[in-house]
Structure 1
Amino acid sequence: MPIDAAKATSAEPRITELAWDHKDVQLYHLGIGAGAATPEKPHPATDPDELRYTLESALHVLPSFATVAGGGMALAGGLSAPGIDVDLAAVLHGGQTVTVHRPLPVRGRATQTSSVPAVYDKGKAAVIVLRSETADEDGPLWTCDTQIFVRSEGGFGGDRGPSARLELPERAPDLHTERRIREDQALLYRLSGDWNPLHADPEFAALAGFDRPILHGLCTYGVTLKAVVDTVLGGEVSRVTSYATRFAGVVFPGETLRLRMWREPGRVQVSVTAADRDDAPVLADTVVAHD
Protein backbone atom coordinates (compact mmCIF):
# COMPACT_ATOMS: atom_id res chain seq x y z
CA MET A 1 0.00 0.00 0.00
CA PRO A 2 1.47 3.40 -0.96
CA ILE A 3 0.44 4.92 2.39
CA ASP A 4 1.73 3.29 5.58
CA ALA A 5 -0.12 5.31 8.24
CA ALA A 6 1.81 3.90 11.19
CA LYS A 7 5.16 4.59 9.56
CA ALA A 8 4.14 8.13 8.54
CA THR A 9 2.87 9.18 11.97
CA SER A 10 5.80 7.68 13.88
CA ALA A 11 8.53 9.15 11.68
CA GLU A 12 10.94 11.71 13.07
CA PRO A 13 9.96 15.33 12.32
CA ARG A 14 11.60 16.84 9.27
CA ILE A 15 13.60 20.04 9.71
CA THR A 16 13.77 22.58 6.87
CA GLU A 17 15.50 25.95 6.75
CA LEU A 18 13.39 28.68 5.16
CA ALA A 19 14.36 32.09 3.80
CA TRP A 20 12.36 34.79 2.04
CA ASP A 21 12.53 38.49 1.22
CA HIS A 22 10.29 41.25 -0.12
CA LYS A 23 10.34 39.86 -3.67
CA ASP A 24 8.83 36.56 -2.49
CA VAL A 25 6.12 38.42 -0.58
CA GLN A 26 5.31 40.68 -3.54
CA LEU A 27 5.18 37.74 -5.96
CA TYR A 28 2.82 35.88 -3.64
CA HIS A 29 0.54 38.90 -3.28
CA LEU A 30 0.43 39.33 -7.07
CA GLY A 31 -0.33 35.61 -7.35
CA ILE A 32 -3.47 36.02 -5.26
CA GLY A 33 -4.70 39.08 -7.13
CA ALA A 34 -3.01 42.09 -5.56
CA GLY A 35 -3.00 44.98 -8.01
CA ALA A 36 -6.10 43.75 -9.85
CA ALA A 37 -9.28 45.80 -9.97
CA THR A 38 -12.08 44.89 -7.54
CA PRO A 39 -15.54 46.36 -6.89
CA GLU A 40 -14.02 48.33 -4.01
CA LYS A 41 -10.84 49.41 -5.84
CA PRO A 42 -11.38 50.30 -9.50
CA HIS A 43 -7.86 51.80 -9.80
CA PRO A 44 -5.71 49.42 -7.71
CA ALA A 45 -2.27 50.17 -9.17
CA THR A 46 -2.14 53.53 -7.37
CA ASP A 47 -4.50 52.84 -4.48
CA PRO A 48 -2.53 53.48 -1.24
CA ASP A 49 -4.25 50.57 0.51
CA GLU A 50 -3.39 48.22 -2.34
CA LEU A 51 0.24 49.35 -2.45
CA ARG A 52 0.76 47.76 0.96
CA TYR A 53 0.76 44.44 -0.93
CA THR A 54 2.85 45.44 -3.94
CA LEU A 55 5.30 48.23 -3.05
CA GLU A 56 8.40 47.23 -1.10
CA SER A 57 8.59 50.49 0.85
CA ALA A 58 5.05 50.03 2.19
CA LEU A 59 4.89 46.23 2.37
CA HIS A 60 2.69 44.32 4.82
CA VAL A 61 2.57 40.49 4.78
CA LEU A 62 -0.69 38.57 4.60
CA PRO A 63 -0.60 35.65 7.07
CA SER A 64 -1.47 33.22 4.26
CA PHE A 65 2.05 33.85 2.91
CA ALA A 66 3.05 31.26 5.52
CA THR A 67 1.82 28.55 3.12
CA VAL A 68 4.47 29.44 0.51
CA ALA A 69 7.33 30.94 2.54
CA GLY A 70 10.57 29.32 1.48
CA GLY A 71 8.89 27.79 -1.57
CA GLY A 72 6.08 25.96 0.23
CA MET A 73 8.38 23.22 1.50
CA ALA A 74 5.93 21.92 4.12
CA LEU A 75 3.50 20.49 1.58
CA ALA A 76 6.29 19.02 -0.53
CA GLY A 77 7.82 17.46 2.58
CA GLY A 78 4.50 15.95 3.59
CA LEU A 79 4.10 14.14 0.28
CA SER A 80 7.62 12.70 0.55
CA ALA A 81 7.42 11.71 4.22
CA PRO A 82 8.28 8.13 5.24
CA GLY A 83 5.36 5.81 4.59
CA ILE A 84 3.80 8.07 1.93
CA ASP A 85 4.14 7.42 -1.80
CA VAL A 86 1.22 8.83 -3.78
CA ASP A 87 0.37 9.84 -7.34
CA LEU A 88 0.15 13.63 -7.70
CA ALA A 89 -2.78 13.16 -10.07
CA ALA A 90 -4.75 11.70 -7.16
CA VAL A 91 -3.92 14.51 -4.72
CA LEU A 92 -6.20 17.38 -3.78
CA HIS A 93 -5.87 19.89 -0.98
CA GLY A 94 -8.56 19.06 1.60
CA GLY A 95 -8.17 21.87 4.13
CA GLN A 96 -5.80 24.44 5.55
CA THR A 97 -5.32 26.28 8.83
CA VAL A 98 -2.68 28.93 9.57
CA THR A 99 -2.22 30.13 13.15
CA VAL A 100 -0.14 33.29 13.47
CA HIS A 101 1.95 33.79 16.61
CA ARG A 102 3.13 37.27 15.60
CA PRO A 103 3.12 39.39 12.43
CA LEU A 104 5.09 37.86 9.57
CA PRO A 105 8.24 39.82 8.68
CA VAL A 106 8.86 41.09 5.15
CA ARG A 107 12.15 39.19 5.07
CA GLY A 108 13.42 36.46 7.31
CA ARG A 109 15.13 33.17 7.98
CA ALA A 110 13.38 30.49 9.99
CA THR A 111 13.37 26.80 10.85
CA GLN A 112 10.35 24.71 9.96
CA THR A 113 9.58 21.47 11.81
CA SER A 114 7.12 19.21 9.95
CA SER A 115 5.38 16.00 11.00
CA VAL A 116 2.38 13.85 10.08
CA PRO A 117 0.18 13.71 13.21
CA ALA A 118 -2.56 11.64 11.53
CA VAL A 119 -3.64 9.73 8.44
CA TYR A 120 -7.41 9.25 8.19
CA ASP A 121 -9.25 6.54 6.29
CA LYS A 122 -12.25 7.99 4.45
CA GLY A 123 -13.11 4.74 2.68
CA LYS A 124 -12.45 5.61 -0.96
CA ALA A 125 -9.74 8.12 -0.05
CA ALA A 126 -7.12 8.89 2.56
CA VAL A 127 -6.53 12.23 4.28
CA ILE A 128 -2.96 12.99 5.30
CA VAL A 129 -2.67 15.60 8.05
CA LEU A 130 0.56 17.57 7.96
CA ARG A 131 1.64 19.97 10.70
CA SER A 132 4.49 22.44 10.27
CA GLU A 133 5.72 24.74 13.02
CA THR A 134 7.95 27.63 12.01
CA ALA A 135 10.16 29.75 14.26
CA ASP A 136 13.02 32.21 13.91
CA GLU A 137 15.60 33.40 16.42
CA ASP A 138 12.93 35.48 18.17
CA GLY A 139 10.56 32.55 18.69
CA PRO A 140 7.48 30.99 17.05
CA LEU A 141 6.15 32.63 13.89
CA TRP A 142 3.32 30.42 12.65
CA THR A 143 1.82 26.92 12.71
CA CYS A 144 0.24 25.37 9.61
CA ASP A 145 -2.10 22.37 9.59
CA THR A 146 -2.67 20.94 6.12
CA GLN A 147 -5.11 18.21 5.10
CA ILE A 148 -4.13 16.40 1.90
CA PHE A 149 -6.89 14.37 0.21
CA VAL A 150 -5.62 11.36 -1.76
CA ARG A 151 -8.16 9.56 -3.92
CA SER A 152 -8.26 5.74 -4.01
CA GLU A 153 -5.94 5.38 -1.02
CA GLY A 154 -8.50 4.67 1.71
CA GLY A 155 -9.88 1.37 2.92
CA PHE A 156 -6.93 0.45 5.13
CA GLY A 157 -9.01 0.22 8.32
CA GLY A 158 -7.82 3.42 9.95
CA ASP A 159 -9.62 6.09 11.95
CA ARG A 160 -12.08 8.10 9.83
CA GLY A 161 -11.16 11.31 11.67
CA PRO A 162 -13.36 14.32 12.44
CA SER A 163 -16.34 15.08 10.21
CA ALA A 164 -18.07 18.05 11.89
CA ARG A 165 -19.16 20.83 9.56
CA LEU A 166 -19.61 24.52 10.39
CA GLU A 167 -23.10 25.74 9.55
CA LEU A 168 -23.52 29.18 8.03
CA PRO A 169 -25.45 31.77 10.07
CA GLU A 170 -29.18 31.85 9.27
CA ARG A 171 -29.18 35.62 8.86
CA ALA A 172 -28.17 37.51 5.73
CA PRO A 173 -24.42 38.14 5.32
CA ASP A 174 -23.06 41.42 6.66
CA LEU A 175 -20.85 41.94 3.60
CA HIS A 176 -20.46 40.43 0.18
CA THR A 177 -18.06 40.98 -2.68
CA GLU A 178 -16.70 39.29 -5.79
CA ARG A 179 -13.21 38.54 -7.03
CA ARG A 180 -12.50 37.63 -10.64
CA ILE A 181 -9.74 35.07 -11.15
CA ARG A 182 -7.49 35.94 -14.09
CA GLU A 183 -6.97 33.41 -16.88
CA ASP A 184 -3.26 33.31 -16.03
CA GLN A 185 -3.70 33.34 -12.23
CA ALA A 186 -2.56 29.74 -11.70
CA LEU A 187 0.51 30.28 -13.90
CA LEU A 188 1.49 33.27 -11.78
CA TYR A 189 0.66 31.69 -8.43
CA ARG A 190 2.69 28.54 -9.10
CA LEU A 191 5.87 30.67 -9.24
CA SER A 192 5.63 30.84 -5.44
CA GLY A 193 6.53 27.14 -5.25
CA ASP A 194 3.61 24.81 -6.01
CA TRP A 195 4.70 23.21 -9.28
CA ASN A 196 1.99 20.52 -9.44
CA PRO A 197 1.22 20.26 -13.20
CA LEU A 198 -2.47 19.88 -12.33
CA HIS A 199 -2.58 23.69 -12.34
CA ALA A 200 -0.83 24.28 -15.68
CA ASP A 201 -0.73 21.22 -17.93
CA PRO A 202 -4.01 20.31 -19.72
CA GLU A 203 -2.87 16.73 -20.35
CA PHE A 204 -2.04 16.20 -16.69
CA ALA A 205 -5.33 17.81 -15.63
CA ALA A 206 -7.16 15.35 -17.91
CA LEU A 207 -5.48 12.44 -16.12
CA ALA A 208 -6.89 13.84 -12.87
CA GLY A 209 -10.38 14.02 -14.36
CA PHE A 210 -10.57 17.72 -15.24
CA ASP A 211 -11.18 19.16 -18.69
CA ARG A 212 -8.63 21.90 -18.03
CA PRO A 213 -6.14 22.94 -15.31
CA ILE A 214 -7.65 24.09 -12.03
CA LEU A 215 -6.60 26.89 -9.71
CA HIS A 216 -4.53 26.03 -6.66
CA GLY A 217 -6.69 25.71 -3.57
CA LEU A 218 -4.16 27.79 -1.67
CA CYS A 219 -4.51 30.56 -4.26
CA THR A 220 -8.26 30.71 -3.54
CA TYR A 221 -7.32 30.60 0.15
CA GLY A 222 -5.11 33.69 -0.25
CA VAL A 223 -7.60 35.56 -2.44
CA THR A 224 -10.25 35.04 0.25
CA LEU A 225 -8.09 36.19 3.15
CA LYS A 226 -7.06 39.33 1.27
CA ALA A 227 -10.73 40.12 0.58
CA VAL A 228 -11.63 39.71 4.27
CA VAL A 229 -8.69 41.81 5.43
CA ASP A 230 -9.50 44.54 2.92
CA THR A 231 -13.26 44.69 3.49
CA VAL A 232 -13.65 43.83 7.19
CA LEU A 233 -10.31 44.52 8.90
CA GLY A 234 -9.41 47.81 7.24
CA GLY A 235 -6.38 46.31 5.52
CA GLU A 236 -4.69 45.53 8.87
CA VAL A 237 -3.02 42.18 8.21
CA SER A 238 -1.59 42.07 11.75
CA ARG A 239 -5.10 41.69 13.21
CA VAL A 240 -5.44 38.14 11.85
CA THR A 241 -4.67 35.47 14.46
CA SER A 242 -5.78 32.35 12.56
CA TYR A 243 -7.44 31.35 9.32
CA ALA A 244 -9.05 27.98 8.59
CA THR A 245 -10.93 26.53 5.63
CA ARG A 246 -12.08 23.32 3.98
CA PHE A 247 -11.70 23.08 0.20
CA ALA A 248 -15.19 22.14 -0.98
CA GLY A 249 -14.81 22.47 -4.75
CA VAL A 250 -12.51 23.50 -7.55
CA VAL A 251 -12.02 26.88 -9.22
CA PHE A 252 -11.10 27.31 -12.87
CA PRO A 253 -9.00 30.31 -13.98
CA GLY A 254 -11.24 32.96 -15.51
CA GLU A 255 -14.10 32.36 -13.09
CA THR A 256 -15.49 34.81 -10.53
CA LEU A 257 -15.55 34.03 -6.81
CA ARG A 258 -18.51 35.22 -4.76
CA LEU A 259 -17.69 35.88 -1.10
CA ARG A 260 -20.25 36.30 1.66
CA MET A 261 -19.07 37.37 5.12
CA TRP A 262 -20.66 37.29 8.55
CA ARG A 263 -19.14 39.34 11.36
CA GLU A 264 -19.06 37.63 14.76
CA PRO A 265 -17.17 38.54 17.96
CA GLY A 266 -13.48 37.99 17.26
CA ARG A 267 -13.98 36.35 13.90
CA VAL A 268 -15.42 36.50 10.39
CA GLN A 269 -17.18 33.50 8.89
CA VAL A 270 -16.96 33.28 5.12
CA SER A 271 -18.70 31.42 2.30
CA VAL A 272 -16.96 31.26 -1.09
CA THR A 273 -18.72 30.02 -4.22
CA ALA A 274 -18.18 30.01 -7.98
CA ALA A 275 -20.54 32.69 -9.32
CA ASP A 276 -20.24 31.35 -12.88
CA ARG A 277 -21.44 27.86 -11.88
CA ASP A 278 -24.63 28.62 -9.97
CA ASP A 279 -22.73 29.32 -6.75
CA ALA A 280 -21.07 25.91 -6.61
CA PRO A 281 -19.26 25.64 -3.23
CA VAL A 282 -15.54 26.43 -3.30
CA LEU A 283 -14.52 27.09 0.34
CA ALA A 284 -16.52 25.89 3.34
CA ASP A 285 -16.06 25.92 7.13
CA THR A 286 -14.07 29.11 6.62
CA VAL A 287 -13.23 31.33 9.59
CA VAL A 288 -10.81 34.24 9.95
CA ALA A 289 -10.12 34.89 13.64
CA HIS A 290 -8.85 38.33 14.60
CA ASP A 291 -8.15 40.64 17.51
Structure 2
Amino acid sequence: MAIDAQRLLDLKLPDHDCSWTQEHCQIYALATGFGQDPVDDRELAYVVEGPDFRVSPTAAITLYYDDAWMRESGVDLAMSLHGEQKNIFHRPIPPSGRGRVRSRITGVHDKGPGRGLLVVCEQVLTDAETGEALATNIITNFARADGGGGSSAGTLSSPHALPDRPADLVVDQVTRPEQALIYRLTGDRNPLHATPATAREAGFPQPILHGMCTYGFAARAILGSVCDFDPTRLKSMGARISAPVFPGDALRTEIWRDGEVVSFRTTAPNRDNVVVLNNGRAEVV
Protein backbone atom coordinates (compact mmCIF):
# COMPACT_ATOMS: atom_id res chain seq x y z
CA MET A 1 0.00 0.00 0.00
CA ALA A 2 1.38 3.43 -0.95
CA ILE A 3 1.58 5.75 2.06
CA ASP A 4 1.11 9.50 1.64
CA ALA A 5 3.66 10.95 4.08
CA GLN A 6 2.18 14.44 4.16
CA ARG A 7 -1.28 13.04 4.89
CA LEU A 8 0.11 11.34 7.98
CA LEU A 9 1.85 14.51 9.18
CA ASP A 10 -1.43 16.40 8.78
CA LEU A 11 -3.51 13.86 10.72
CA LYS A 12 -5.34 15.20 13.77
CA LEU A 13 -5.06 12.30 16.18
CA PRO A 14 -7.52 12.24 19.08
CA ASP A 15 -6.29 12.86 22.62
CA HIS A 16 -6.91 10.11 25.11
CA ASP A 17 -7.24 10.11 28.88
CA CYS A 18 -5.48 7.74 31.26
CA SER A 19 -5.31 7.08 34.97
CA TRP A 20 -3.07 5.03 37.20
CA THR A 21 -2.68 3.88 40.78
CA GLN A 22 0.24 3.02 43.03
CA GLU A 23 -0.49 -0.66 42.39
CA HIS A 24 -0.03 -0.13 38.64
CA CYS A 25 3.38 1.44 39.33
CA GLN A 26 4.32 -1.47 41.60
CA ILE A 27 3.37 -4.02 38.93
CA TYR A 28 5.42 -2.12 36.36
CA ALA A 29 8.42 -2.12 38.71
CA LEU A 30 8.16 -5.87 39.32
CA ALA A 31 7.68 -6.45 35.58
CA THR A 32 10.95 -4.64 34.83
CA GLY A 33 13.13 -6.33 37.45
CA PHE A 34 12.85 -4.10 40.51
CA GLY A 35 12.96 -6.07 43.72
CA GLN A 36 15.44 -8.66 42.47
CA ASP A 37 17.67 -7.55 45.34
CA PRO A 38 15.21 -7.98 48.23
CA VAL A 39 17.48 -6.34 50.81
CA ASP A 40 18.26 -3.13 48.91
CA ASP A 41 16.03 -0.46 50.43
CA ARG A 42 16.69 1.91 47.49
CA GLU A 43 15.24 -0.62 45.06
CA LEU A 44 12.44 -1.74 47.34
CA ALA A 45 11.16 1.85 47.35
CA TYR A 46 9.79 1.11 43.85
CA VAL A 47 7.77 -1.94 44.88
CA VAL A 48 6.77 -1.46 48.54
CA GLU A 49 4.23 1.18 49.46
CA GLY A 50 5.27 3.84 51.94
CA PRO A 51 6.13 7.53 52.33
CA ASP A 52 9.29 7.13 50.24
CA PHE A 53 7.60 5.28 47.36
CA ARG A 54 9.21 5.94 43.96
CA VAL A 55 8.02 5.44 40.39
CA SER A 56 10.35 4.32 37.62
CA PRO A 57 10.39 7.09 34.99
CA THR A 58 9.84 4.58 32.16
CA ALA A 59 6.52 3.57 33.75
CA ALA A 60 5.24 6.52 31.70
CA ILE A 61 5.41 4.26 28.64
CA THR A 62 2.47 2.23 29.92
CA LEU A 63 0.38 5.38 30.42
CA TYR A 64 0.72 6.47 26.79
CA TYR A 65 -0.37 3.11 25.48
CA ASP A 66 -2.78 3.68 22.60
CA ASP A 67 -2.33 2.41 19.05
CA ALA A 68 -4.84 4.72 17.36
CA TRP A 69 -1.99 6.51 15.61
CA MET A 70 -0.82 3.21 14.09
CA ARG A 71 -4.31 2.35 12.87
CA GLU A 72 -4.72 5.83 11.38
CA SER A 73 -1.39 5.57 9.54
CA GLY A 74 -2.73 2.80 7.31
CA VAL A 75 0.35 0.57 7.64
CA ASP A 76 0.08 -3.22 7.83
CA LEU A 77 0.01 -3.67 11.61
CA ALA A 78 0.74 -7.41 11.38
CA MET A 79 4.04 -6.58 9.66
CA SER A 80 5.04 -3.67 11.91
CA LEU A 81 7.68 -3.64 14.64
CA HIS A 82 8.59 -1.22 17.42
CA GLY A 83 11.99 -0.10 16.12
CA GLU A 84 13.15 2.73 18.38
CA GLN A 85 12.07 4.36 21.61
CA LYS A 86 12.92 7.67 23.24
CA ASN A 87 11.58 9.34 26.36
CA ILE A 88 12.01 12.77 27.91
CA PHE A 89 11.09 12.95 31.59
CA HIS A 90 9.90 16.45 32.48
CA ARG A 91 8.97 15.74 36.11
CA PRO A 92 8.49 12.70 38.37
CA ILE A 93 5.47 10.49 37.73
CA PRO A 94 3.24 10.64 40.83
CA PRO A 95 2.25 7.27 42.40
CA SER A 96 -1.33 7.83 41.29
CA GLY A 97 -3.05 10.30 39.04
CA ARG A 98 -4.94 11.13 35.88
CA GLY A 99 -3.38 12.21 32.62
CA ARG A 100 -4.09 13.22 29.05
CA VAL A 101 -2.03 12.10 26.07
CA ARG A 102 -1.63 14.16 22.88
CA SER A 103 -0.24 12.31 19.86
CA ARG A 104 1.03 13.46 16.49
CA ILE A 105 2.98 11.83 13.69
CA THR A 106 6.21 13.78 13.17
CA GLY A 107 8.07 11.78 10.54
CA VAL A 108 7.50 9.30 7.71
CA HIS A 109 10.52 7.86 5.91
CA ASP A 110 10.28 5.42 3.01
CA LYS A 111 13.34 3.14 2.91
CA GLY A 112 12.53 1.90 -0.60
CA PRO A 113 11.00 -1.19 -2.25
CA GLY A 114 11.26 -4.22 0.01
CA ARG A 115 12.92 -2.21 2.79
CA GLY A 116 9.89 -0.90 4.66
CA LEU A 117 8.73 2.41 6.06
CA LEU A 118 9.53 4.27 9.29
CA VAL A 119 6.73 6.14 11.04
CA VAL A 120 7.63 8.41 13.99
CA CYS A 121 4.99 9.39 16.54
CA GLU A 122 5.42 11.88 19.39
CA GLN A 123 3.16 11.59 22.42
CA VAL A 124 3.05 14.06 25.32
CA LEU A 125 1.64 12.97 28.68
CA THR A 126 0.26 15.83 30.77
CA ASP A 127 -1.25 15.96 34.24
CA ALA A 128 -5.02 16.15 33.73
CA GLU A 129 -5.50 18.59 36.60
CA THR A 130 -2.59 21.02 36.09
CA GLY A 131 -1.88 20.59 32.39
CA GLU A 132 1.84 20.26 33.16
CA ALA A 133 3.87 17.95 30.93
CA LEU A 134 5.05 14.82 32.75
CA ALA A 135 6.86 13.00 29.96
CA THR A 136 7.29 12.84 26.19
CA ASN A 137 7.28 9.54 24.31
CA ILE A 138 8.79 9.25 20.81
CA ILE A 139 8.17 5.96 19.00
CA THR A 140 9.67 4.88 15.69
CA ASN A 141 7.60 2.12 14.13
CA PHE A 142 9.13 -0.02 11.39
CA ALA A 143 6.41 -0.98 8.88
CA ARG A 144 8.13 -3.83 7.05
CA ALA A 145 5.49 -4.23 4.35
CA ASP A 146 4.87 -0.59 3.41
CA GLY A 147 8.02 0.73 1.73
CA GLY A 148 8.46 1.61 -1.91
CA GLY A 149 5.90 4.38 -2.30
CA GLY A 150 8.63 7.01 -2.39
CA SER A 151 6.92 9.38 0.03
CA SER A 152 8.90 10.80 2.98
CA ALA A 153 8.43 13.88 5.17
CA GLY A 154 9.16 15.17 8.64
CA THR A 155 12.04 14.41 10.97
CA LEU A 156 14.08 11.29 11.74
CA SER A 157 16.82 11.13 14.36
CA SER A 158 20.22 9.56 13.74
CA PRO A 159 21.35 6.65 15.94
CA HIS A 160 23.53 7.55 18.90
CA ALA A 161 27.13 6.38 18.44
CA LEU A 162 28.51 4.36 21.36
CA PRO A 163 31.99 5.25 22.71
CA ASP A 164 34.93 3.34 21.22
CA ARG A 165 36.29 2.08 24.53
CA PRO A 166 35.48 -0.64 27.08
CA ALA A 167 32.34 0.03 29.09
CA ASP A 168 32.76 1.91 32.36
CA LEU A 169 30.09 -0.20 34.07
CA VAL A 170 28.43 -3.54 33.39
CA VAL A 171 25.11 -4.52 35.00
CA ASP A 172 23.90 -8.14 34.82
CA GLN A 173 20.22 -8.92 35.33
CA VAL A 174 17.95 -11.90 34.76
CA THR A 175 14.44 -12.14 33.35
CA ARG A 176 12.07 -14.79 34.63
CA PRO A 177 10.21 -17.36 32.48
CA GLU A 178 6.92 -15.59 33.32
CA GLN A 179 8.32 -12.07 32.78
CA ALA A 180 6.18 -11.30 29.73
CA LEU A 181 3.06 -12.51 31.55
CA ILE A 182 3.77 -10.03 34.33
CA TYR A 183 4.57 -7.17 31.96
CA ARG A 184 1.35 -7.63 29.99
CA LEU A 185 -0.54 -6.65 33.16
CA THR A 186 0.74 -3.10 32.61
CA GLY A 187 -1.47 -2.79 29.51
CA ASP A 188 0.17 -4.31 26.42
CA ARG A 189 -1.70 -7.59 25.96
CA ASN A 190 -0.44 -8.43 22.47
CA PRO A 191 -0.78 -12.24 22.22
CA LEU A 192 2.71 -12.42 20.67
CA HIS A 193 4.00 -12.13 24.24
CA ALA A 194 1.69 -14.71 25.83
CA THR A 195 0.27 -17.22 23.34
CA PRO A 196 2.61 -19.90 21.93
CA ALA A 197 0.53 -20.38 18.78
CA THR A 198 0.67 -16.66 17.97
CA ALA A 199 4.42 -16.62 18.52
CA ARG A 200 4.92 -19.61 16.20
CA GLU A 201 2.82 -17.92 13.49
CA ALA A 202 5.16 -14.93 13.76
CA GLY A 203 8.22 -17.15 13.37
CA PHE A 204 9.30 -17.41 17.02
CA PRO A 205 9.70 -20.69 18.93
CA GLN A 206 7.92 -19.20 21.97
CA PRO A 207 6.35 -15.93 23.12
CA ILE A 208 8.89 -13.09 23.22
CA LEU A 209 9.38 -10.43 25.85
CA HIS A 210 7.93 -7.00 25.16
CA GLY A 211 10.62 -4.70 23.79
CA MET A 212 9.51 -2.10 26.30
CA CYS A 213 10.04 -4.59 29.11
CA THR A 214 13.67 -4.99 28.00
CA TYR A 215 13.86 -1.18 27.83
CA GLY A 216 12.56 -0.99 31.40
CA PHE A 217 15.27 -3.41 32.54
CA ALA A 218 17.86 -1.12 30.95
CA ALA A 219 16.33 1.84 32.80
CA ARG A 220 16.65 -0.10 36.07
CA ALA A 221 20.30 -0.81 35.26
CA ILE A 222 20.98 2.90 34.69
CA LEU A 223 19.00 4.03 37.74
CA GLY A 224 20.84 1.58 39.99
CA SER A 225 24.37 2.04 38.68
CA VAL A 226 24.45 5.75 37.83
CA CYS A 227 21.57 7.44 39.68
CA ASP A 228 21.65 5.69 43.09
CA PHE A 229 18.06 4.64 42.31
CA ASP A 230 16.92 8.30 42.37
CA PRO A 231 14.33 8.62 39.55
CA THR A 232 14.60 12.43 39.46
CA ARG A 233 18.14 12.16 38.10
CA LEU A 234 17.12 10.38 34.86
CA LYS A 235 16.08 13.12 32.42
CA SER A 236 15.87 11.26 29.11
CA MET A 237 16.50 7.84 27.61
CA GLY A 238 16.36 6.24 24.18
CA ALA A 239 17.54 3.16 22.30
CA ARG A 240 17.04 1.00 19.23
CA ILE A 241 15.31 -2.34 19.72
CA SER A 242 17.61 -4.60 17.75
CA ALA A 243 16.62 -8.19 18.64
CA PRO A 244 13.93 -10.02 20.63
CA VAL A 245 14.42 -11.28 24.16
CA PHE A 246 12.91 -14.57 25.33
CA PRO A 247 11.52 -14.70 28.88
CA GLY A 248 14.19 -16.31 31.04
CA ASP A 249 17.10 -14.73 29.13
CA ALA A 250 19.89 -13.06 31.05
CA LEU A 251 20.50 -9.39 30.22
CA ARG A 252 23.79 -7.54 30.35
CA THR A 253 23.79 -3.74 30.08
CA GLU A 254 27.09 -2.06 29.25
CA ILE A 255 27.24 1.58 30.35
CA TRP A 256 29.56 4.43 29.36
CA ARG A 257 29.54 7.65 31.41
CA ASP A 258 30.61 10.97 29.85
CA GLY A 259 29.46 13.74 32.13
CA GLU A 260 25.67 13.91 32.01
CA VAL A 261 25.51 11.68 28.93
CA VAL A 262 25.18 7.95 29.54
CA SER A 263 25.57 5.60 26.58
CA PHE A 264 24.38 2.01 26.87
CA ARG A 265 23.86 -1.29 25.08
CA THR A 266 22.06 -4.42 26.29
CA THR A 267 22.92 -7.96 25.21
CA ALA A 268 21.66 -11.47 25.98
CA PRO A 269 24.84 -13.29 27.14
CA ASN A 270 23.17 -16.72 27.17
CA ARG A 271 22.44 -16.30 23.43
CA ASP A 272 25.93 -15.53 22.15
CA ASN A 273 25.70 -11.93 23.40
CA VAL A 274 23.15 -10.95 20.75
CA VAL A 275 22.52 -7.19 21.02
CA VAL A 276 18.89 -6.60 22.02
CA LEU A 277 19.08 -2.82 22.68
CA ASN A 278 21.60 -0.73 20.78
CA ASN A 279 22.73 2.89 20.39
CA GLY A 280 21.34 3.71 23.82
CA ARG A 281 21.63 7.25 25.18
CA ALA A 282 20.42 8.70 28.46
CA GLU A 283 20.87 12.00 30.25
CA VAL A 284 21.39 12.07 34.01
CA VAL A 285 22.08 14.84 36.51
Q: TM-score, structure 2 length as denominator? A: 0.92
Q: Does 2:120 correspond to 1:129?
A: yes
**In structure 2, how many angstroms separate the alpha carbons of the residues matched to 1:2 and 1:85?**
9
Q: Which amino acid aligns with 2:65?
A: M
Aligned-pair CA distance for 1:163: 7.0
Q: Which amino acid aligns with 1:201?
A: T
Aligned-pair CA distance for 1:162: 4.2
**In structure 2, how many angstroms separate the alpha carbons of the residues matched to 1:111 and 1:78?**
15
CA contact (8 A) 1:183 1:254 kept: yes
**In structure 2, how many angstroms separate the alpha carbons of the residues matched to 1:77 and 1:237?**
30
Which of residues 168, 186, 192 is equivalent to 2:186? 192
**In structure 1, how many angstroms separate the alpha carbons of the residues matched to 2:201 and 2:229?**
40
**In structure 2, how many angstroms separate the alpha carbons of the residues matched to 1:180 and 1:203?**
25
**In structure 2, how many angstroms separate the alpha carbons of the residues matched to 1:190 and 1:4?**
33
Q: Does 2:106 correspond to 1:117?
A: yes
- Residues 202-241 of structure 1: CA deviation (Å, up to 9, x unaligned): 2212222222211111000000001110111111111111
Q: Which amino acid aligns with 2:147?
A: G
**In structure 2, how many angstroms separate the alpha carbons of the residues matched to 1:132 and 1:232?**
27
**In structure 2, how many angstroms separate the alpha carbons of the residues matched to 1:188 and 1:63?**
18
Aligned-pair CA distance for 1:113: 0.5
User: What's the counterpart of residue 157 of structure 1?
Assistant: 150
Q: Which 4+ stretches in 1 moved above 4 angstroms?
A: 160-163
Give the alignment's Cα RMSD to 1 decimal.
1.8
Which of residues 172, 179, 204 is equivalent to 1:210? 204
CA contact (8 A) 2:80 2:145 kept: no
Q: Does 2:25 correspond to 1:35?
A: no
Aligned-pair CA distance for 1:194: 0.7
User: What's the counterpart of residue 135 of structure 2?
Assistant: 142
CA contact (8 A) 2:5 2:152 kept: no
CA contact (8 A) 1:120 1:126 kept: yes
User: What's the counterpart of residue 10 of structure 2?
Assistant: 10
Name the stretch that deviates more: 271-280 or 5-14: 5-14
User: What's the counterpart of residue 172 of structure 1?
Assistant: 166
User: What's the counterpart of residue 73 of structure 1?
Assistant: 65
CA contact (8 A) 1:79 1:86 kept: no
CA contact (8 A) 1:9 1:117 kept: yes
CA contact (8 A) 1:8 1:84 kept: no
Aligned-pair CA distance for 1:149: 1.4
User: What's the counterpart of residue 39 of structure 1?
Assistant: none
Secondary structure class of the residue paired with 1:53: coil
Secondary structure class of the residue paired with 1:129: strand
CA contact (8 A) 1:127 1:148 kept: yes
Name the stretch that deviates more: 153-162 or 248-257: 153-162
- Counting matched residue pairs gives 279
Identity, in percent, stands at 35
- Residues 52-74 of structure 1: CA deviation (Å, up to 9, x unaligned): 110121321111011002xx434
Aligned-pair CA distance for 1:197: 1.2
**In structure 1, how many angstroms separate the alpha carbons of the residues matched to 2:278 and 2:182?**
25
CA contact (8 A) 1:103 1:141 kept: yes
Secondary structure class of the residue paired with 1:14: coil
User: What's the counterpart of residue 275 of structure 1?
Assistant: 269
Q: Which amino acid aligns with 2:177?
A: E
1:188–1:2 CA distance, 2 compared to 1 (3 A): farther
**In structure 1, how many angstroms separate the alpha carbons of the residues matched to 2:38 and 2:259?**
33
Q: TM-score, structure 1 length as denominator? A: 0.90
User: What's the counterpart of residue 56 of structure 1?
Assistant: 49
